[in-house]
Structure 1
Amino acid sequence: MSATARKSAPNADDIRALKGKTPIVSLTAYTTPMAQVMDDHCDFVLVGDSVGMVLHGLPSTLSVTMEMMILHGRAVARGLSKAMMVIDMPFASYEQSPEQAFCNAARLMAETGAAAVKLEGGVDMADTIRFLVKRGIPVMAHIGLTPQSINTLGGYKVQGRDAQADAVLADAHAVTEAGAFSVVLEKVPQGLADRITGDIAIPTIGIGASAGCDGQILVVDDMLGLFTAFKPKFVKRYADLGQQAQSAVADYAAEVRARTFPAAEHVFADQIPAIKE
């Protein structure tokens, strides 16, 4: 069922059931107003740790904290009623042990109202995913380019070309067998993404992967042109709001300096005009 036809937010099973059907629509969100804008159109909304880069000016996602995710998760939750909310587990909140992952995942869900968590990793995270799912934590997996691992991956490179393909395919099967209800494929070659989508029983959510994936996700600030520090190849800009905002601020500044703003219609009279009978 599409987002526009739903009366209530889907859950993990509903997203899993969309495998092979109408493509799943998703975007990231970090604030209440942005969540409200996308609520009618998205099947799920991700409170991504990309918030660190696009809203806080951090150089990567590695400095994002649990407290930051909870703050933004609560804000997004206030803006959603139709779309499912998934929240990222930040770096160092789940890698140490399945027990650590459970404590932090449970906290994220309890304190934000998120319906599921997302974590990065494939074969190496399968036991953790299995541990969480058995204890009532729905998990969205994330393989291919995993931004929290850029220091070991050597940067934001395509993952899965040539000899790497078997490893990424193994990751996809591992998270599926561990119980993830869906998996994000980031910066994975098109052919490999299509193969994974055909091989596994859970939906694939592409970001720099393939139109053949079961769904797509983008960072909302990227696709709206609000984040302009760099533009990944896989991003299509559907608007240029950053440039529009700059122009609007420049116009405002010029009018303030020229004393043309505020104008008469923007100020208040010293006395309330009398009402004519």
Structure 2
Amino acid sequence: MIGFIGGSGIYEALPLNDVREEEVTTPYGDPSAPVTVGEFGDTGTEVAFLPRHGEDHQRSPTNLPYKANIYALKQLGVERILASNAVGSLKEDLPPQTLVVPDQIFDRTKHRDSTFFGDGVVVHQPFADPYCPHMVEHLHESAEDATDAETQEGGTYVCIEGPQYSTRAESEFYKAQGWDLVGMTAIPEAKLAREAEMCYATVAGVTDYDVWKEDSEVTLEEVLENAAANETAIKRTVEHAIETLPDERDCDCGHSLEGTVNTPTEAIPEETRERVDVLLGDYL
């Protein structure tokens, strides 16, 4: 099963057959919405779709149930997640309606719980490459093959807390670092997907130039207008990626927790062990 987490502007699931809604309850609460599951075309591939912000965009980036979302997809059997994000551009040559598949993240969030673990179990997991490199390559190739949009493979997504957009000083600082995109939802989603040993990559649709650019003021109207224009290209990208995704994973994501648990099994409280069994069961 492949997961698709849709961001701003992507509120409808992909064209699926034999659709059902899965009401999933997790130890971390309920996900943003019921998960829509169905068979993608005649491929035989099951896809689980989850709107990140809820069905009517009711949830703010800081308060999204990130842990419940990832855990729910893990419970359903998802091994690989494709995502979409609406982002601002930090570079002149990445104008609105460009599609970027980033390969790096800089975390500027302040108020988010970014791990499944704790409460008696300590896990130190490598995160040097926050997106699955094979999925990044595949998703970019799909964008190139399936759309007429300008695209870029690789780049750094700086994730801010929000829900406010950047100050001008912040925007100019991010640009001066050579980073590419600014958004609000890459973290902790990418961290949690890695902790769940799931491949994860996103196609980011540029909606604005943030506020570093002279005479540029980010408005919700501009963001929504360009997000709507990006929607078709993002859906085509994701559909092509699903259709052409290899059956087997060719990466290390599926055993990324190996050797990362720093707490002896016998020292972990029983309640904690039960909560993280879906994630850590093979290692405890």
Confirm or deny a common fold (TM above 0.5): no
Higher helix share: 1
Which structure's residues are more often strand, by fraction? Answer: 2
Q: TM-score, normalised by structure 1?
A: 0.28
**Higher RCO, Cα 8 Å, sep 6+:** 2
TM-score of the superposition, structure 2-length normalised? 0.27
